[in-house]
Amino acid sequence: MEKEDFELLKQQRINENEKKYGFEIRQKYGNQTIDDSNEKYLDQTKESQDWASQRHDEIVHLLEDAYQSNNHNLAFKAIQLHKEWLEHFWTSPVTKAAHLSLIKMYCDDERFRQNYIKRFNGLPEYFYEMADIFYKNVR
């Protein structure tokens, strides 16, 4: 993909995100936070975005395997990877409270829930439950 095409694609994705979620996320997090996050996204390379996409797929697969086998260690690994993935996009620290709040949104908001229920309808709730346990044990 040509650099110019890639830059246009990134801007298009931001525009779509703004159209779909902009009002809501700007109310919740503030204009400056969203503007900073968008700027960070625009600064990413193709390799960086490929990494993020692959990492998200890995997180979902780990969660699915953990859910199916009830393996807490796999779930905890997915939670740690999810935090790293978020740090790739966020400009502020991913605190325990912020991370749990976001995962709770995956349970409550159908738009985000769809990213986690490909194989198991209860996966978002499992993700939240395991994250809650994980953070209760992290100092």
DSSP 33-100: HHHHHHHHHHT--HHHHHHHHHHHHHHHHHHHHHHHHT-HHHHHHHHHHHHHHHHTT-SS---HHHHH
Q: Is the pLDDT of residue 93 over 60?
A: yes
* pTM metric for this prediction: 0.87
DSSP 1-35: --HHHHHHHHHHHHHHHIIIIIHHHHHHH-HHHHH
pLDDT value of position 46: 92
* pLDDT tens-digit series, residues 9-62: 999 999 999 999 899 889 988 999 999 999 999 999 999 999 999 999 999 999
- The pLDDT score that the predictor gives to residue 81 is 97
pLDDT at 15: 96
- Going by pLDDT thresholds of 50, 70 and 90, the confidence category of residue 139 is low
